[in-house]
Chains A and B, each alone.
Chain A
Amino acid sequence: MSSYIRPIDLIDALAALAESDLTVLAGATDYYPAQVGRVANHDILDLSGVEALTGIERHDEHWRIGAMATWRDLVDADLPPCFDGLKQAALQVGGPQIQNTATIAGNLCNASPAADGVPPLLCLDAEVEIQDRAGSRVLPLTEFIQGNRRTALQPDQLVTAILVPTALEQGCTGFMKLGARSSLVISIVMVSGLLRWDDQGRVHRANLSVGACSEVAQRLPALEAELVGRTDLHDVVRPEHFSHLSPLEDHRGTASYRLDAAATMIQRMLEDLSS
């Protein structure tokens, strides 16, 4: 017999987590598929009752996406332009049923190399707010996800929110996903980008990222640096901008295909964002 708790207060959730080894559930869309053909006997901490984890709100320094906010909540929220890319990703995560239940935080915690939420959030310089009984701390997303299905989260910790700095609010963002069919599909490659311009129409800031081409989605620092100061973004992408990536080979695509597609998609997104 396994146990199940669904606390209302975050404090109770954290206390329970500190006391025993619990499996945390947000939307449960990554949880149940992993149990097919298995006997599930986990002790469960269900976060769906914790009011404090819901909602998407603006604070002074950052936007706060509660850990229980779903993809659908994000799409329905009234948000500044910098969230356009993340919203585009949201509409392409699984199908509408998944979007109605799955959380953005769960997508990060699950840390799949093909997690669609990661590239847009990398471009937004997102941070992850973590709490345990001792208190709360904030980690950059780049430090939070450590590898394929590995995060910095300790067993007694919860993610409570994803934070996006308000400083980037007016950035122009995009997202593109390449899959072998139109919905319900794991990305072969996905890319995201954020651009800000100065008043002369030159690139002031470029944040670019690529997913499914390495264990964890990566930014493209060399290309980002080259773009600053440019006005024309045609034909700027070259293979060496991706040399730090090491895509996997599987039945969805070879490594060279993934790199080739990533370059095409980044170039297209730059052109889209600058038109």
Chain B
Amino acid sequence: MTSDRVELNFFLNGQRYKMALDPMVRLSETLRDTFGYTGVKVGCDAGDCGACTILLDGRQVCACLVPTARINDALVVTAEGMANNGFLSRVQNAFLRHGAVQCGACIPGMLAAATDIAASQHEPTNEAVMHGLGGVLCRCTGYQNIVQAVLDAGRDPCPIEIPEGHAIGASLPRTDALDKLTGVANFGADAMPENTLWLRAVRSPHAAARFTIGNMDTLYEDHPGLHRVLTADDVPGNKCYGIYPDLKDQPVFALDQIRYPGEAVMALVGERDALAGISDSDLPITYEPLDPIKGMAAAKADGARQLHADRPGNLLIEAALRKSDGDFREATFTATGRWTTGFVEHAYIEPEAGFARRVGDRLEIFVTTQTPYMDRDEVALIMGLAPEQIRIIPAVCGGGFGGKLDQSVQPMLAVAAWNLDRPVACVYSRPESMAASTKRHPAEIDARFGCDSEGRLQAMEMTADFDTGAYASWGPTVAGRVPVHGSGPYHLPNAHIQARAYYSNNPPSGAFRGFGVPQIALAHEALMDDLAEQIGMDPLEFRHKNALRAGDHTATGQLLVASAGLDQCLEALRPHWGAALASVASHNAANTILRRGVGLGCMWYGCGNTGMSNPSIIHVTLSNEGRVTLYNGAVDIGQGSYTIMRQICADGLGLPFEAIEQVTGDTDLTPDAGKTSASRQTYVTGKATELAARDLRQQILRLANADEHAVIAIADGVVRIGETEIALSRLTADEDGVVLRGEGTFDPPATALDENGQGEPYGTYAFAAQMAIVEVDVALGTTKVTHIVAAHDVGKAINPVQVEGQIHGGIAQGLGLALMEEYLPGRTENLHDYLIPTVGDMPEIEVILVEDPDPNGPQGAKGVGEPGLVPTAPAILAAIKSATGVAVHQVPATPARLRAAILKNLDRGRQS
């Protein structure tokens, strides 16, 4: 929107301005575009996420809801203006100290809210902090460390001490925390070139349709700022993309039909204002809607329309596991059930964004992504170019959780920038991000477990069907992971598991923290409780008895040689469990309406890709000036790989953490460290880093003929080892000044699964057990999770605060899955209809780290990215059952659903 500018007087980040500005432009836009304060994040433009929160006259407001004119005579402070004379503010310093930053997308808003709280109360109460932060969403941290930081913000800022010698095991602050705290980190939307054109995708309002595109002449005439309309005809190479080489079924622009609501039909490229002035109804697209296939039942139905020519019955893929004959002869007790889950949205606070530009016969794409190398290869295919002609420069990534493992803006931007030979930028709006991007697979799970009279599990069977939506995306990965994990983290002599994924006219389901495992964990965990109850055993002891241990074979027949710490996790929970059972019982003795309950959830999770090679390569160099540089392609999406790898590198070399410089994730500069998913970076790339660092260390030691234990010091271009001094300038350097290069490659030991799902699909597994305490208001159906104790076997915590942060964040997403998150296509495409947990929804969390080292992992470490989420929802549902007697079989257990189930249960009780 533009109006006549008005003259405004204001103070912005300590500077006085007198300036004419467009009065009705959102203040967030003015601060970003006119002043370059891109620390003001835009996550929704609707007041729902709070990422744009700034201080206006000292009070927190959403800059996206403030007309620019309102800053007249006012004081405006953004994250960029909080530090003073080179010192972080108290609040910023507290965030740094407490490890409160992950992806960082919410952080500028959190800082503004926290500063408002701190200004009104020197020592704010817990309640004041909860209320004060209640308007800013964070998808990564589970809020725990942020709350701790705000409570502690009254303390004087203090420097953070880095312990000498042992970076591994120390809770070092993140390498990128300062940039994120001061608002200067460049996320996908923060570094657009000056002269860029903009791209807006035009998306189908229909879930299923045929369409035709008419003549565009009048469109171009009416909108001179429109440079180009791109359709499928403009895509030079592959018209479709997809994760698997044989499954490239998703078009860049729809070809002959629409398969989901929000599918891109074309893209408009031009001046930003001109694009904003074109409404969808001006476009010559004629849709002929078809009856949409709305879910799995419709997709499977006899005579259902087939969505993809090569997939009869709309079946994308089927995978099975069969161990032994899978029979239940030895099972004295059996338990069965059926569970259903819906779509879940990643809801990263940073929507998809980036830009592309053509540089000679190459394309450069700056984009928010979890997987630069896959992006590079996919864009090359789409453009009909060689992979070396594409450079992907990952932006600081404002959250991914699997959702930024697929293509979003990349292909469209590539086509546009190549054709127009101008930089082209694109930022998704929140509704667009939600409509267009992938989701967690909805599931329908039938399962049965049986145990003998001693409580030993004997057999299980499971059928899990998944709605993969319009396109394959990561559907096959889910189908691959589910059979392996269907048994749960337990020893089972007999198992029979089948997983299938069906196409529908729903949004494509893709990768989402856990790849189907969180869904099936609902089933196996509820059935553990059921069996324990039948046999009269304590649920914790029942699990402990059956826990997979080192020396056991998994359901795929893999021998677990070491590092299977579920029993230790359960032992760590045991005292908490006993105390919780007692306190819940005594509370419930006096309360019939506010009922408390306690429940358990366990999980295991294979780190890395399933049954296939997934190597990482890391280089560490020493320059003729004595600089040590880690070339780290493990993209940090908030989980911390830019800090973790530096820690591993420092200890591997025997040098201080600060001595390690880093070049991060850029396909031109860093070797391929694979994708940031499947909880693989710490384990796989971490190991490659350790190997690379040791390799370089060996080379350095050789220069002085020193032994393995020698202490290396590097200063002023000279390496000192004991008495020996080596001037690096005397060594031969390559054109980049590199004199020594350490290389490390690690590919976890894994074998492909056979037709019975047997094999060794992962190099290692993470294990965890969580306990939840809830309070259910049985009259209203509302659930408040009050406590979670989470015991996780992580092998080795390279950075304990970051590991805890991953677990906190996973718990928040698990809580959302259990209680509130349900994406309804066409209905919840914003962050006020689609609810994710706010700070006030979070329980008190206690994390217990169990370190049962993996023989292959770096210093024994395994992954923790996904495991935090998996056991949470099962534990919450078990706690709800313990509180109310109601077994929830459909998530989310919204108040309305839970109340209905409670009433039904009462009815049943009355009738019997």
Contacts and interface: CB of A to CB of B under 8 A. Distances in A.
Interface stretch (B82-90, B214-222, B424-432, B521-529): B424-432
A27 B65 CA distance: 8
Interface in A83-122: 91, 94-98, 100-101
A251 interface: yes
A185 B59 CA distance: 21
B3 A44 contact: yes
Contact of A94 (B113, B135, B430): B135
A100 B60 contact: yes
Interface string B118-142: 0000000000000110111100000
A36 B46 contact: yes
Interface stretch (B379-387, B436-444, B615-623, B833-841): B833-841
Interface in B886-912: 894-896, 899-900
B430 A183 contact: no
Contact of A184 (B135, B782, B827): B135
B62 interface: yes
Given A32-B64, A98-B62, A184-B135, A37 B431 contact: yes
A161 to B, nearest CB: 21
Contact of A2 (B3, B53, B820, B827): B3
A182 B64 CA distance: 22
Given A253-B895, A257-B900, A184 B832 contact: yes
Interface stretch (B66-74, B369-377, B678-686, B876-884): B66-74
Contacts of B841: 181-182
Given A97-B53, A184-B832, A251 B822 contact: yes
B47 interface: yes
B612 interface: no
Nearest to A258: B896
Contacts of A260: 899
B651 to A, nearest CB: 42
A48 B3 CA distance: 17
B50 interface: yes
B45 interface: yes
Contacts of B780: 178, 261, 264-265
Contact of A48 (B70, B113, B827): B70
A257 B60 CA distance: 36
Contacts of B900: 254, 257
B61 A101 contact: yes
A27 B822 CA distance: 30
Interface in A9-31: 25, 27-29
Interface residues of A, number: 48
Given A39-B279, A100-B61, A178 B782 contact: yes
A96 B116 contact: yes
B882 to A, nearest CB: 22
Nearest to B112: A97
A252 to B, nearest CB: 7
Interface in B27-49: 44-48
B820 A4 contact: no
A8 B589 CA distance: 62
Contacts of A1: 2-4
A181 B65 CA distance: 22
B24 interface: yes
B1 interface: yes
Contacts of B132: 96
A243 interface: no
A186 interface: yes
A36 B429 contact: yes
B204 to A, nearest CB: 15
Contact of A181 (B69, B430, B820): B820
A44 B4 CA distance: 12
A51 B430 CA distance: 36
Given A6-B69, A39-B1, A48-B70, A97 B895 contact: no
Interface in B582-638: none
A41 interface: yes
A4 to B, nearest CB: 4
- Residue with the highest number of chain B CB atoms closer than 10 Å, among A48, A184, A186, A265: A184
A235 to B, nearest CB: 13
Interface in A148-199: 178, 180-186, 188
A239 interface: no
Given A180-B835, A180-B894, A184-B135, A33 B431 contact: no
B835 A28 contact: no
Contact of B779 (A46, A72, A97, A264): A264
Interface in B756-788: 779-782
Interface in B823-860: 824, 827-828, 830, 832-833, 835, 837-841
A97 B4 contact: no
Contacts of B895: 178, 180, 188, 253, 257, 261
Given A2-B2, A96-B113, A253-B896, A36 B65 contact: no
Interface in A31-79: 32-33, 35-37, 39-42, 44, 46, 48, 72
A3 interface: yes
- Residue with the highest number of chain B CB atoms closer than 10 Å, among A1, A4, A41, A72: A4
B6 interface: yes
A36 B60 contact: no
Contact of B65 (A6, A29, A261): A29
A39 to B, nearest CB: 5
Interface in A203-232: none
A4 B3 contact: yes
A257 B3 contact: no
- Residue with the highest number of chain B CB atoms closer than 10 Å, among A29, A95, A101, A264: A95
Given A28-B65, A96-B113, A182 B838 contact: yes
Given A32-B46, A39-B276, A40-B24, A101 B66 contact: yes
B821 to A, nearest CB: 10
B277 interface: yes
B23 interface: yes
Interface string B350-382: 000000000000000000000000000000000
Nearest to B109: A97
A96 B131 contact: yes
Contacts of B47: 29, 32-33, 94, 97-98
Contact of B134 (A48, A96, A261): A96
Contacts of A28: 65-67
Interface in B643-669: none
Interface string B1-18: 111101000000000000
A184 B60 contact: no
B59 A100 contact: yes
B397 to A, nearest CB: 23
Nearest to A100: B59
Contact of B899 (A25, A96, A261): A261
A187 B388 CA distance: 54
Interface of A: 1-4, 6, 25, 27-29, 32-33, 35-37, 39-42, 44, 46, 48, 72, 91, 94-98, 100-101, 178, 180-186, 188, 251-254, 257, 260-261, 264-265
Given A44-B24, A182-B838, A183-B840, 17 more contacts: A2-B24, A4-B24, A6-B69, A39-B1, A39-B279, A42-B1, A46-B69, A46-B70, A96-B60, A97-B53, A182-B839, A182-B841, A184-B134, A184-B832, A251-B827, A252-B896, A261-B779
15 contacts: A2-B1, A6-B69, A28-B67, A33-B47, A33-B832, A36-B431, A46-B23, A46-B67, A46-B69, A94-B135, A95-B136, A98-B65, A101-B66, A181-B841, A252-B894
Interface of B: 1-4, 6, 23-24, 26, 44-48, 50, 53, 59-62, 64-67, 69-70, 113, 116, 131-132, 134-137, 276-277, 279, 429-432, 779-782, 819-820, 822, 824, 827-828, 830, 832-833, 835, 837-841, 894-896, 899-900
Q: Which 10 A-B pairs have the closest CB atoms?
A: A95-B135, A182-B840, A183-B134, A33-B46, A253-B896, A4-B3, A40-B1, A257-B896, A4-B23, A264-B779
